Structure 1
Amino acid sequence: MSLLFPTHPTTRPRRRQRRHNHLMPFLFGLGLAAPAVAVVAYLLWPTWQSEKPDDPDRIPVSVGSTLFNVPTHAFRRKVQKHSGPQERVDLSYVYPSLEASETPRHVTRENFDEHVQPVDRIFLSISAHHNATSPDARLRTIYPLYAAQASRNADGLTIQPFHDYTPYASEDLFLGSAPALVARCTRDAATPGMCMSERRIGGADLIFRFPRAWLDDWRTVADAMDRLSAQLGGT
């Protein structure tokens, strides 16, 4: 029977040999290409993935299509600490030096009493206004409807209390000039009063917040807000 079918035991080794012969050039070419691919990959690999660069001094942020150059350490929320368009950013500066510092205060049960002290920071929120009523228009047309008769203190600061049963009850309006100041402040009660001062730059509103007690030196406060507005460079 083996003489009738002599081809079967010889064809299989020949086919394996042919496949092996075709595979050898492919493997040889792959071996030559691998070092070249490795070199190119090494040269093109982005080095920033393995290194952590220092934060830049300022981060460009667009709020309401207005560009602001924000100090890196002024951000109060880490999620806002990036460049590009944002709806709102919240910042803080040490007062009166106006340094941007994100160093937190460490309060424990043992040192709680010594940390109950006046706020040493001025807070600033920048948000898109979407054509809402401007701070100047509010001062001219809305506040006079609710404010009582004004008086002026010895330091040249005008004070207008708001009537009770109005949207601004328990607040006072402070006005100053040279430098200009407009601030709406809550009155001291169980907690110290706080002030809010607004100004508009381009498509964004800047809202400053600080303790009412600082108005004893209101010119320094007004100058600080002017300086911060200029440093941010809203364009």
Structure 2
Amino acid sequence: MAFAHTTRRGRRRGHSPLAAPLIVLLIAGAVAATYVGYLLWPRWPDAPVALDAPALPIVVAGTAFNIEPAAIRMRVQRHPGTQARVDLAYVWPTLTPPDPAEKSPPPGAPPTPLERLFISIEGADGTMSPIQRVETIYPRYLVAEPVAGPPGLTLRGFRKDTPYAGEELVFESNNPQHFLARCATHGVIGSGSCLLEKRIGEADLTFRFPRAWLDNWQQVASAVDTLTARLHPQ
């Protein structure tokens, strides 16, 4: 009996050296997994920001912006804090955010031009500023002679054998730095679209609008200035 009692007691002792390290390893693994999950999990609020909430403080490439939630096109971007990119839309010509109750056209309906001014904000990532591209990159691809555009504008096309084939520079004849855009000559809807770029700090703002608006380019230039000041108040 003494021998049996000693054997059972020896077996009980034999479990301890293995169980303790195993428990420690399991706990350490759980802590590590929780910590990694915490680092990788997005930390913006679970509840979506209301569309009628005040403007959100958003930082892109170290530059601060104040943006109305209703103007932000993607729900995942509707949160304050630092973001890599923000995509916006404003109704033309009121420059108000789109009405969330507005219905999309029914399936199969022919596409119609959108009366929207679209803006994307993202980091420059060390690329040339818009004016630097105009001065150093674009000239090697442009045709030799400019032509007159809508009153007050000059057009200068890109050659067909270049990366910008099918586009042209459109700029204010007397002050190109005030209004300068790159426009497609044709588009899927209407006559194509135009891109107008501005840089604030290390953030690039790209304004996109229909080429047909060039007939009222002064209004477009004023809208760009107004929205720039609204998004990034000095």
Which has the larger displacement, 101-110 or 167-176?
Answer: 101-110
Indicate how the Cα distance of structure 1 residues 120 and 54 shifts in structure 2: closer, same or farther if over 3 A, else same. closer
**Correspondence 1:2-151 to 2 at 5 A:** 55-103=52-100, 104-109=102-107, 112-113=109-110, 116-148=111-143, 149-151=145-147
Q: CA deviation at 1:154?
A: 5.2
Q: Which structure 1 segments of 5+ residues have no match?
A: 1-48
For structure 2, which runs of at least 5 residues remain unmatched after alignment?
1-45
Is residue 113–residue 189 contact of structure 2 (8 Å, CA) maintained in 1?
A: no
Give the aligned CA root-mean-square deviation in angstroms.
Answer: 2.4
Structure 1 partner of 2:195: 196
Match of 1:183?
181
Deviating above 4 A after TM superposition, structure 1's stretches of 4 or more consecutive aligned residues are 52-55
Instruction: In structure 1, give the amino acid aligned to 2:157.
Output: P
**Partner SS for 1:89:** strand
Equivalent position of 1:156 in the other structure: 152
Q: What is the count of residue pairs matched by the alignment?
A: 183
Query: Does the 8 Å contact 1:74/1:102 carry over to 2?
Result: no
1:1-43: CA deviation from partner (whole Å, max 9, x where unpaired): xxxxxxxxxxxxxxxxxxxxxxxxxxxxxxxxxxxxxxxxxxx
| Paired AA for residue 89 in structure 2 | S
Q: Residue type of the partner of 2:91? A: V
Deviation at 1:130, TM superposition (A): 1.8
TM-superposed deviation, 1:191 = 3.7
The separation in 2 between residues aligned to 1:150 and 1:190, in whole angstroms, is 25
In the alignment, what sits opposite 1:172? 168
- After TM superposition, give the deviation of residue 165 of structure 1 in Å: 1.1
CA distance in 2, matches of 1:123, 1:222: 14
- In structure 2, the CA distance between the partners of 1:59 and 1:166, relative to structure 1 (3 Å rule), is same
Mark the CA change 1:141 to 1:151 in structure 2 (over 3 Å): closer, same or farther.
same
Match of 2:223 in 1: 224
Amino acid at match of 1:92: A
Offset at residue 105 of structure 1 (A): 3.1
**Once the 2 structures are TM-superposed, how far is the Cα of residue 54 of structure 1 from its aligned partner?**
7.8
Larger Rg: 1
